[in-house]
Structure 1
Amino acid sequence: MPFLTLHNKLRCCYTLQGTGDPIVFIHPTGMGTVTFHYQQELAEHFSILTYDMRGNGFSQADNERISISLLARDLKQLLDELGISSAVICGYSNGGAIAQEFVLHYPEMAKGLILVGGFSEVCTEWLQAEFLAGIYLTGFGGLPLLARGISGAHAPERNYRVQLENSILRADPYILYQMYRTTFHYHSTDRLDQISCPLLLIYGEKDTYIHSYEYLFRKYIPFAKTVYISDAKHQIPTKFPYELNSIIKQFTKTLT
């Protein structure tokens, strides 16, 4: 995969395929570009950009303290280097925090916002428990266990599970620890009314502990659209790629 050196001198690993309107996919903590393996088929219709966030996958990290605004700024620099002036921003799971922050800080660069299993804050018990588990495992030598758990939950077949597990194991555990902590405390709810671009929320029908977040979004963004995918839990990009890609394709074409 190619690399770009960002303004902060960090080497960032990315993939850019296809032509047409750009869609940027932002992965959850640790998972890297391989998260969106099945979304590459969208390159038949759009320019698809995926990348490893700093300290994840093959991308470098430095000693700068991780924050959601820092990660959003990294994405802005990547788009600038690639000459992409605006794009549809798609964040999966806690990658949605970076997506929201990017749209809030750089609204002129966002044609639309897609959140897959997204939330504007961590305020429910089950989600809090997941983040606390991530904080503990990355902080106390449990990255191999975390990698097995995440890859096992996401991968529909063995070869992909190995790719995903290896991607997580390449990450810097301390960076992941910081990412889990800063996302655990992230809160955009009181700024949601500042999001002006079209918003699409995508949830799994069986991802019930995330469903309540839809109401927070719709409270502050009445124009938001919501789609539930039947029989799906949280792992939509890998377990229900056909349905997800079809929804993204339809939504993005309405923005052109």
Structure 2
Amino acid sequence: MPFANVNGTTLHYEVTGPASGKPIVFIHPPLLTLETFAYQKEQLSKYFRVITFDIRGHGGSACTDQELTYSLIAADITHLLDHLNIESAYVCGYSTGGTVALEAMIRFPSRFRGGIIVSGMSELTDLYNLSRVWLAIRLARPSRFMKLLIEALTYGNADKSTTYQKLKERATHDSEQNVKSYFEQSMHYSCTNRLSTIQQPVLLIYGLEDRAFHPYAQQIHSQLPHSSLYFIKDAKHQIPFKSAPRMNDLIQLWLDSLDEPNAAREKLDLAIARRLNPSKYGPMNTEIPLL
């Protein structure tokens, strides 16, 4: 179990895949841990250098007395890259982790080659999800309510019982204060008016059934200068767990497509969609890709 003493804290991390592969750092949402990306590590590490880590106060990483801001997490990632002697990497965030990924690209543009946002947002504005975060903040306290929060979130994300047990076991080590602080960021953070400063390519992945997040997908896509937006058919919010093969194939094809910088992005996106869903996409189809 490797640890890195960086930026005034101790982070638990894992690195898998070939040293020559394109590095990808994965960011998990509140309460979960690096186990969030077990399926990504399993499949993508065949081709890429997969870096997963526990955010402060989560899993095996040390807790902190500091406010757990997205900016602090982004800074931790750059220090972890320094520790690993990696000059720049791609960054992938799931849900709230996607917001952290956007902040990282905005704040440290030279350290990130591009981003992958999975079920993410640049700000949280809908009443349904705001109320869920509000409830999570109040349950994140040293009591039986924290156990209920852990059970609810891990069960909701897990694709099977063994995944649920592993997620739940890892989450029991989370710091209540740091989980609460991480959740609290969603209540007031926004980088929407700064998205246009992100010049790196960004892949956006959302579930077709995750309708509450469709406005966030369109909002980010419309503001980013260089983004590719895909919706996964029959998928809800928990894509890394419940639609992992589609997500992983899409990431692999998209990263490979970046090796063709002179090709039109729209044509490359449709080529990827045809590879993953050949029955839907003909030569003249120009819809946002549905996988």
TM-score (ref. length: structure 2):
0.85
Paired amino acid for 1:11 = T
The alignment status of 1:180 with 2:179, answered yes or no, reads no
The alignment status of 1:194 with 2:193, answered yes or no, reads no
Decide which of 44, 47, 50 is 2:46's aligned counterpart.
Answer: 44
Residue in 1 aligned with 2:81?
A: 79
Residue in 2 aligned with 1:103?
A: 105
Structure 2 gap segments, 5+ residues each: 260-291
In structure 2, what is the Cα distance between the partners aligned to 1:107 and 1:191?
A: 12
What's the secondary structure of 1:114's corresponding residue? strand
Residue in 2 aligned with 1:89?
A: 91
What's the secondary structure of 1:187's corresponding residue? coil
Per-residue displacement from partner, 1:26-58 (whole Å, max 9, x unpaired)? 001110110001011210000000000000001
Residue in 2 aligned with 1:65?
A: 67
Structure 1 gap segments, 5+ residues each: none
Are the aligned partners of 2:208 and 2:233 in contact in 1 as well (CA < 8 Å)? yes
Are the aligned partners of 2:221 and 2:229 in contact in 1 as well (CA < 8 Å)? no
Following superposition, the deviation at residue 23 of structure 1 comes to 0.8
Residue in 2 aligned with 1:14?
A: 13
In structure 1, what is the Cα distance between the partners aligned to 2:225 and 2:17?
A: 33
Residue in 2 aligned with 1:212?
A: 215
Decide which of 107, 118, 122 is 2:124's aligned counterpart.
Answer: 122
Larger radius of gyration: 2
Q: Which runs of 4+ in 1 moved over 4 A?
A: none
Paired amino acid for 2:14 = T
Residue in 1 aligned with 2:26?
A: 25
What is the correspondence of 1:216-235 to structure 2 with a 5 Å cutoff? 216-235=219-238
What's the secondary structure of 2:206's corresponding residue? strand
Per mean C-alpha deviation after superposition, the further-off stretch among 233-242 and 133-142 is 133-142
Are the aligned partners of 1:30 and 1:167 in contact in 2 as well (CA < 8 Å)? no
Paired amino acid for 2:258 = L
In structure 2, what is the Cα distance between the partners aligned to 1:130 and 1:247?
A: 29
Following superposition, the deviation at residue 7 of structure 1 comes to 3.2
Residue in 1 aligned with 2:245?
A: 242
Residue in 2 aligned with 1:2?
A: 2
Q: How many residues align?
A: 255
Are the aligned partners of 1:57 and 1:170 in contact in 2 as well (CA < 8 Å)? yes
In structure 2, what is the Cα distance between the partners aligned to 1:196 and 1:223?
A: 7
Paired amino acid for 2:58 = N
Following superposition, the deviation at residue 69 of structure 1 comes to 0.7
What's the secondary structure of 2:241's corresponding residue? helix
Paired amino acid for 2:172 = L
Are the aligned partners of 1:22 and 1:46 in contact in 2 as well (CA < 8 Å)? yes
The alignment status of 1:156 with 2:159, answered yes or no, reads yes
Following superposition, the deviation at residue 60 of structure 1 comes to 0.1
Following superposition, the deviation at residue 218 of structure 1 comes to 2.5
What's the secondary structure of 1:113's corresponding residue? strand
Residue in 1 aligned with 2:140?
A: 138
In structure 2, what is the Cα distance between the partners aligned to 1:176 and 1:112?
A: 27
In structure 2, what is the Cα distance between the partners aligned to 1:139 and 1:170?
A: 13
Residue in 1 aligned with 2:278?
A: none
Are the aligned partners of 2:90 and 2:115 in contact in 1 as well (CA < 8 Å)? yes
In structure 2, what is the Cα distance between the partners aligned to 1:223 and 1:3?
A: 35
Greater relative contact order (CA < 8 Å, ≥ 6 in sequence): 1
Are the aligned partners of 2:142 and 2:176 in contact in 1 as well (CA < 8 Å)? no
**RMSD over equivalenced CA pairs, Å:** 1.2
